[in-house]
């Protein structure tokens, strides 16, 4: 009947075309069921192969996740052997990748998505460290189990000591030639250092040979703040699988991000209240993410100029009228469009300038422009709960806009762009004080940039430009040495 068809359609919409499964308690995570009321349907359809990989992953996580027998057995491998232990520590084929808490929220989100992709490719279960923070910001993505690393995890108290020169570090062991077929078979865990400051040995993670060595290590503990998916596409043993999962290459974060990151009810309240108050009634919504990495200088007059010329040249916002002629009031029949701009920034300088500009002077199109900024937190305060809730709410709100401008280098902006799924305008980074021309440019895809990719040809064992190997892994628009999927 038609009601059934309507219900079916409603269901399909809220489950994002099969990306999500039903069965979660609605009240425990409102955003999971309500996001489609706030954002347009995705321009990208997840492939059937991705959907079946996700369903298989969910089964694996349920079978091996915390609280299960295989989990307990696998964890026992990490403890010193007691004499008299009967050796039934069979982990039943369950292997794990643990993501360690690290860095700002945008960095966390894109690196967790990369770790999840890696987990799917290697049949591992992803567990994330991050206790109350993560739990407060996001809903549980996996049905009937948990992605949170249990607080009493055997190695937790060693995490602080894990570093590039610690005994169990993959890169350091390579350097000391301690890693080979026979030595890895006895390892219960390895630490993978994949953060921005990793060295040439750590980077061997991205070689096929090392991947086959890592295959049977039950626990991989990973510290990363990067979106390293582009380099996984260059590992031969993953290529076929990745090609079927993502026939549209530059949509990896878009799909995995929408699958994994559902704002908790607290954050969903921040998002929906703000949206209804300031954005819902507009004819067009424009997002403007302003990120200045030098906190002392703040948003300089040059950067403000750059932003204004970007939004006006690219016709994201109308120019201001100059002549008296145009300053006449619009007649009553003339339809005035409302453009709402959502500005996110740690400070308010640029917001004040834009707001005053569009208040004092009419626009050439006669459209009215409303400028809104939810918060101005001053500086990064990753340890504070409410600060992070706001940061997450703002990334999400930006992702709901019709057109988006983001700042070069910023993972905060990448998350907004990726969840939204469209190509943003990127404000190029000003290296010196000269005006940039052009001030901004269109992104090639909605995926984040991998800021610190390896430059190594694993087969030839020599340096190479990894942005030149396959057509879908290229250098980023905003960081010339970075890599992104397009
Ligand atoms: P990135 O440093 O721009 O790559 O992004 P991260 O999210 O990893 O780290 C920056 C952190 O600074 C954020 O997580 C927030 O804590 C804070 N922050 C930066 N820009 C904003 C903003 O526009 N709004 C809010 N609320 N917080 C911000």
Of 89-98, 162-171, 261-270, the range with the lowest mean pLDDT is 89-98
pLDDT band of residue 295 (cuts 50, 70, 90) is: confident
Please report the pLDDT score of residue 131 as a whole number.
76
Please report the pLDDT score of residue 458 as a whole number.
97
Percentage of residues in the chain having pLDDT higher than 70? 96
Region 349-366 average pLDDT: 96
Same domain, 281 and 246: no
What's the gap in Å between 11 CA and the centre of ligand 1? 34
Relative to beta strand 425-427, strand 403-407 is: parallel
Of 229, 260, 291, at which residue does a domain stop? 260
Same domain, 281 and 225: no
Show the tokens assigned to 13: 């919409």
Please report the pLDDT score of residue 296 as a whole number.
80
What's the gap in Å between 440 CA and the centre of ligand 1? 20
Q: What is the CATH number of the domain that holds 415?
A: 3.40.50.11350
Please report the pLDDT score of residue 12 as a whole number.
77
Mean pLDDT, the chain, rounded, equals: 94
Q: What is the dihedral of CA 14, 242, 250, 200, to 10 degrees?
A: 130
pLDDT band of residue 13 (cuts 50, 70, 90) is: confident
User: Among 39, 484, 19, which residue's Cα sits nearest to residue 280?
Assistant: 39
Q: In the predicted model, is pLDDT for residue 247 greater than 70? A: yes
What's the gap in Å between 380 CA and the centre of ligand 1? 6
Residue 485 included in any domain: no
Please report the pLDDT score of residue 83 as a whole number.
59
CB of 407 sitting under 6 A from ligand 1: no
Q: What is the ipTM score, two decimals?
A: 0.99
**Per the confidence metrics, is the pTM higher than 0.90?**
yes
Handedness of CA 307, 309, 313, 315 (dihedral sign): positive
Of 10-14, 53-57, 229-233, 426-430, the range with the lowest mean pLDDT is 10-14
Please report the pLDDT score of residue 469 as a whole number.
96
Mutation test of ligand 1: which of 104, 107, 452 has the most ligand atoms closer than 8 Å to its C-beta? 104
Relative to beta strand 456-457, strand 440-442 is: unpaired
Region 393-403 average pLDDT: 98
Region 325-329 average pLDDT: 60
Q: In the predicted model, is pLDDT for residue 409 greater than 70? A: yes
Please tell me the total count of domains within the chain. Answer: 2
Residue 64 included in any domain: yes
Please report the pLDDT score of residue 324 as a whole number.
61
Of 206, 229, 260, at which residue does a domain stop? 260
Residue 31 included in any domain: no
Same domain, 425 and 358: yes
Residue 473 included in any domain: no
CB of 345 sitting under 6 A from ligand 1: yes
Same domain, 249 and 345: no
Which residue owns the Cα nearest ligand 1 atom 18? Answer: 380
CB of 391 sitting under 6 A from ligand 1: yes
Q: In the predicted model, is pLDDT for residue 327 greater than 70? A: no
Mutation test of ligand 1: which of 106, 107, 449 has the most ligand atoms closer than 8 Å to its C-beta? 106
Please report the pLDDT score of residue 85 as a whole number.
53
Please report the pLDDT score of residue 86 as a whole number.
54
Percentage of residues in the chain having pLDDT higher than 90? 86
Show the tokens assigned to 80: 């010193």
CB of 382 sitting under 6 A from ligand 1: yes
CB of 310 sitting under 6 A from ligand 1: no
Residue 145 included in any domain: yes
Give residue 204's domain range.
12-21+38-75+91-260
3-state DSSP of the chain = CHHHHHHHHHHHHHCCCCCCCCCCCHHHCHHHHHHHHHCCCCCCCCCHHHHHHHHHHHHHHHHHCCCCHHHHHHHHCCCCCCCCCCCCCCCCCCCEEEECCCCCHHHHHHHHHHHHHHHHHCCCEEEECCHHHHHHHECCCCCCCCCECCCCCCCHHHHHHCCCCCCCEHHHHHHCCCCCHHHHHCCCEEEEEECCCCCCCHHHHHCHHHHHHHCCCCEEEEEECCCCHHHHCCCHHHHHHHHHHCCCHHHHHHHHHHHHCCECHHHHHHHHHHHHHHHCCCCEEEEEECCCCCCCCCCCHHHHHHHHHHHHHCCCCCCECCCCHHHCCCCCCCCCCEEEEEEECCCCHHHHHHHHHHHHCCECCCCEEEEECCCCCCCCCCCCHHHHHHHHHHHHHHHCCCEEEEECCCHHHHHHHHHHCCCCEEECCCCCCCCCCCCEEECCCCCCCECCCCCEECCCCEECCHHHCCCCEEECCCCCCCEEEC
Of 149-163, 164-178, 293-307, 459-473, the range with the lowest mean pLDDT is 293-307
pLDDT band of residue 326 (cuts 50, 70, 90) is: low
Please report the pLDDT score of residue 126 as a whole number.
98
Same domain, 280 and 247: no
Same domain, 220 and 335: no
Which residue owns the Cα nearest ligand 1 atom 26? Answer: 391
The pLDDT tens digits of the residues spanning 108-153 come to: 999 999 999 999 999 999 999 987 899 999 999 999 999 999 999 9
């Amino acid at each position: 009947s038609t009601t059934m068809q309507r219900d079916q359609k409603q269901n399909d919409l809220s489950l994002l075309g099969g990306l999500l499964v039903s069965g979660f308690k609605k009240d425990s995570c409102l955003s999971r069921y309500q996001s489609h009321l706030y954002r347009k349907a995705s321009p990208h359809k997840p492939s059937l192969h991705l959907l079946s990989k996700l369903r298989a992953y969910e089964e694996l996580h349920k079978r091996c996740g915390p609280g299960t027998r295989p989990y307990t057995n696998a964890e026992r491998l990490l403890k010193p052997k007691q004499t008299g232990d009967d050796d039934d520590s069979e982990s039943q084929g369950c292997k794990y990748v643990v993501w360690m808490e690290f860095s700002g929220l945008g960095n966390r989100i894109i690196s967790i998505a990369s770790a999840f992709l890696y987990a799917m490719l290697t049949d591992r279960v992803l567990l994330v460290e991050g206790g109350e923070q993560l739990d407060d910001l996001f809903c549980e993505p996996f049905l009937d189990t948990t992605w949170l690393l249990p607080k009493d995890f055997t190695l937790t108290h060693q995490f602080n000591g894990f570093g590039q020169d610690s005994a169990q570090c993959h890169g350091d062991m390579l350097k000391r030639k301690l890693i080979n077929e026979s030595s890895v078979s006895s390892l219960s865990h390895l630490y993978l250092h994949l953060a921005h400051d990793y060295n040439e040995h750590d980077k061997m993670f991205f070689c096929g040979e090392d991947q086959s060595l890592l295959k049977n290590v039950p626990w991989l503990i990973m510290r990363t703040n990067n979106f390293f998916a582009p380099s996984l596409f260059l590992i031969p043993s993953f290529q076929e699988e990745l090609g079927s999962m993502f026939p549209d290459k530059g949509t990896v974060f878009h799909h995995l991000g929408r699958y994994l990151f559902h704002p908790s009810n607290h954050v969903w309240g921040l998002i929906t209240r703000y949206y209804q108050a300031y954005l819902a009634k507009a004819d067009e919504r424009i997002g403007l993410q302003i990120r200045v990495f030098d906190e002392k200088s703040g948003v300089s007059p040059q950067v403000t100029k750059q932003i204004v010329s970007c939004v006006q040249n690219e016709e994201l916002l109308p120019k201001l009228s100059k002549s008296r002629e145009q300053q006449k009031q619009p007649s009553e029949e003339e339809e005035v469009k409302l453009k709402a701009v959502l500005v996110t920034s740690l400070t308010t300088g640029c917001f004040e300038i834009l707001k005053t500009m569009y208040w004092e002077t009419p626009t050439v199109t006669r459209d009215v422009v409303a400028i809104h900024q939810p918060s101005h937190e001053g500086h990064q305060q990753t340890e504070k709960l409410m600060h992070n809730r706001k940061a997450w709410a703002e990334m999400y709100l930006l992702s709901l806009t019709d057109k988006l401008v983001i700042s070069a280098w910023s993972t905060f902006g990448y998350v907004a762009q990726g969840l939204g799924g469209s190509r943003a305008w990127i404000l190029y980074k000003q290296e010196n004080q000269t005006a940039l021309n052009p001030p901004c440019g269109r992104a090639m895809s909605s995926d984040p940039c991998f800021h610190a990719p390896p430059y190594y040809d694993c087969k030839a064992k020599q340096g190479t430009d990894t942005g030149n190997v396959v057509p879908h892994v290229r250098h980023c628009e905003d960081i010339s040495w970075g890599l992104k999927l397009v």
